[in-house]
Amino acid sequence: MRRFLALITFFSIFSFLAEANTNVEKLYEKLVNDWSTIFPDRNRNAAGPRFFKYILDQDLEYEEFIQFNKLYCAVSGSTIPPDAQPDEIFLTNVENNEKICGQYYKCCWPCLCDVMKYSETKKINIDFKDQSKDIYAIVIDNPCNKSDFPELVNRNYFCEGNKLNEEYTFSVDNKLVIGLLHNAKKCDAYDIDYIRNDQITGPMCEARNSMPLEELNFGMGDIFIRLAN
């Protein structure tokens, strides 16, 4: 009997995971199929904000929203395959300067360094199709008044004059939301130590983040840095 119950439990878990993977793959297919709608000129440089706004406009249930936001890199604007694994990072809370730890889905390792140095996080409340939830959004300052707005970024996706474009982006308190910090919580000492001692978010990011801007010619976040800096 115990063996029979164990088999039932195993197959139930297997079926649940298989269904979850299928749903994520369908969300990824939708993202790819709607590419020309999200980016009419096909320019996705540093366009995490466009992905976030597009996903928000789908009127999803909370879990679908979470899964959808795992499928793009908020720094580069690249899509991320459904089987990608996240990395642990921490960001500064704009409200009180506390460190908030969470998971980030990247397209390449330099994006981890760039998001940690050039963005912050802010807790916001969103009404989803099934419930209202607090999330930790990844944010940057309004870039629309920059005199050196990067040429490789489609400014119309972000701005109307010096104001953020509400049709194409989502913002709060004049902060531009570029993505989602997953499984976020207030960091404890162990979290900080773990992230600072990781091979990438430790020494590799320390080296990248100490470079002058003009020497940053690798990774897909270079354009983002010019937008967020």
- The reported pLDDT for the residue numbered 222 is 81
- The reported pLDDT for the residue numbered 211 is 87
- The reported pLDDT for the residue numbered 23 is 84
Q: Which run of H or of E encompasses 122?
A: strand 120-127
The pTM (predicted TM-score) of the whole model is 0.88
Q: Rounding to the nearest 10 degrees, give the CA dihedral for residues 106, 109, 201, 154.
A: -60
How far CA 84 is from CA of 28, 77, 148, in Å, comes to 12, 15, 34
- Secondary structure of the chain: what % helix, strand, coil (to 5)? 40, 20, 35
- The reported pLDDT for the residue numbered 18 is 39
User: How many helices and strands, by DSSP H and E, does the chain display?
Assistant: 9, 8
Chain mean position to CA 182 = 8
The closest of 99, 94, 98, 55 to 74, measured between CA atoms, is 55
Chain mean position to CA 161 = 25
- The reported pLDDT for the residue numbered 22 is 63
- How far is residue 117's CA from residue 108's CA, in Å, rounded to a whole number? 16
Q: Strand ranges (DSSP E) for 142-188?
A: 159-160, 163-164, 171-172, 175-186
Local confidence pLDDT in tens for the 229 residues of the chain:
555 554 454 444 433 333 445 688 999 999 999 999 999 998 999 999 999 999 999 999 999 999 999 999 999 999 999 999 999 999 999 999 999 999 999 999 999 999 999 999 999 999 999 999 999 999 999 999 999 999 999 999 999 999 999 999 999 999 999 999 999 999 999 999 999 999 999 999 999 999 887 777 665 668 999 999 8
**Using an 8 Å Cβ cutoff, are 186 and 105 in contact?**
no
